[in-house]
Structure 1
């Protein structure tokens, strides 16, 4: 019975403990990714509007 308990414990994964520094760096990295994504979305929007130009208002309804 003790062999089964030892076998079960051998495969347990310990939960990582994050330090304040690691959490701060993680937050900064997430913010950088978010700002980059927002910038790309804005860029695509502007490029689309510029390419369509005045033709958007001239289409039949």
Structure 2
């Protein structure tokens, strides 16, 4: 999947006050993360099971 075809959205964990904004894009078995202030910069890709474990650890 090309980064251009991903549907990016602001993470619900990002504040609405600007500054620290994380965007995510979900593909079939991966989650892609990037800084919303610099969308052309590199992004991180993790497996969906790793992402789910991370979210569970935040609770």
Q: With structure 2 as the length reference, what TM-score do the two structures score? A: 0.23
Larger-gyration structure (1/2): 1
For CA contacts below 8 A with separation 6 or more, give which structure has more relative contact order.
Answer: 2
